[in-house]
Chains A and B, each alone.
Chain A
C-alpha cells in the first residue's frame, strides 16, 4: 500500500521557474524523504527531514514538513531542464522494523 500521496501527478514548467510538489501521508512518521528517478532507473536520495524538523534546505531544494497536517512540500527553485524526472516522497514509520513507504510519484517536465 502507498502511504504517501503526491500532488500534482504531473507538472510542466518553464526553465527558471520554481516547482512545488506536495506529499500527504497517513500514519506517524520518523522521517520523510524525497527521491528523484530518471527514466525508470535507480532512485537518487535528495533530502531527508525528521519529524521534529519543519524546514530544510539543500542547494536549490527546500522541503517543509507539517506533522499536524501530515504533509510535506518540496520546492525546486530556478528549475533546469536536467531537473526533468519523477519525484517521490517516502515516509519511514515509527517503531521497530520501520520501513520506507513510497508514494506514486510526480512527473516533472522542465521545458528549456
Chain B
C-alpha cells in the first residue's frame, strides 16, 4: 500500500459526457502527477501539479484539466469524453524538494469505460 488513494475504482460514461476523477496524495507529498494507461500500453503522462499549480503537461488536449487543493489532493477532469478516453487513470504523488523530484507512489487507478 502506497497511501495514495483514488476514487472511484471503476466508472462507465457515455461519449460527450464529463468525468471527474479524484486522488488523495500520500501524507507529506506536495506533487501529484496523472497518467493515462490504455490497455497493453505503458502509462502516458497527462500533467503534474506542484503546490496547486500545473508545472508540466504531456500531449493531451485542453479538455483534460486538473486541480490540486491545499491539502495536496487532486482532481482530473475530462470534458467531452471520447471512446479513446477509455483507459486506466493513475495518479502518483511525490515529494519535490528544491526542484528535484524522485520516487513517485502510485494509486490503484480508476478504470474508465466510455461507451
Our verdict on whether A and B bind, yes or no, reads yes
A interface vs B, CB < 8 Å?
A: 1-2, 4, 31, 33, 35, 40-45, 48, 88, 90, 92, 96-105
Instruction: From B12-20, B60-68, B104-112, give the one contacting chain A.
Output: B104-112
**B53 CB, min distance to chain A CBs, angstroms:** 11
Minimum C-beta distance from B42 to chain A (A):
4
Chain B residues positioned under 8 Å from A105 (CB to CB)? 41-42
Verify B43–A43 contact, CB threshold 8 A: yes
Chain A residues with Cβ below 8 Å from B40 are: 104
Complex partner residue of A97 from B44, B48, B90, CB under 8 angstroms: B48
Residues of B within 8 A of A (CB): 2, 4, 33, 35, 37, 39-45, 48, 55-56, 58-59, 88, 90, 92, 99, 101-109, 111
Query: Chain A contacts of B99 at CB under 8 A?
Result: 96
Decide if A99 touches B42 in the complex (CB within 8 Å): no
Known: A40-B88, A42-B90. A98 touches B103 (CB 8 A): no
Cβ-defined contact, B58 with A99, below 8 A: yes
The answer to whether A42 touches B102, judged by C-beta atoms less than 8 angstroms apart, is no
A43 to B91 CA separation, bound complex (whole angstroms): 10
The list of the 7 closest CB pairs from A to B, nearest first, reads A102-B42, A97-B56, A42-B106, A42-B108, A43-B106, A102-B43, A104-B42
* Residue in chain A with minimal CB distance to B47: A99
**CA of A102 to CA of B92, assembled, Å:** 13
- Closest B residue by C-beta to A5: B42
Given A40-B88, A42-B2, A43-B90: A100 and B106 interface contact (C-beta under 8 Å): no
From B41, B48, B107, A42 is in contact (CB under 8 Å) with B107
Q: For A88, list chain B residues within 8 Å (CB).
A: 42-43
Residues from chain B with Cβ under 8 Å of A1 in the complex: 59
Give chain A nearest CB distance to B96 CB in angstroms. 10
* Interface contact A44-B106, CB-CB below 8 Å: yes
| A-B residue pairs in contact (CB < 8 Å), sample of 11 | A2-B42, A4-B42, A40-B109, A42-B90, A42-B108, A42-B109, A45-B105, A48-B102, A88-B42, A96-B99, A104-B41
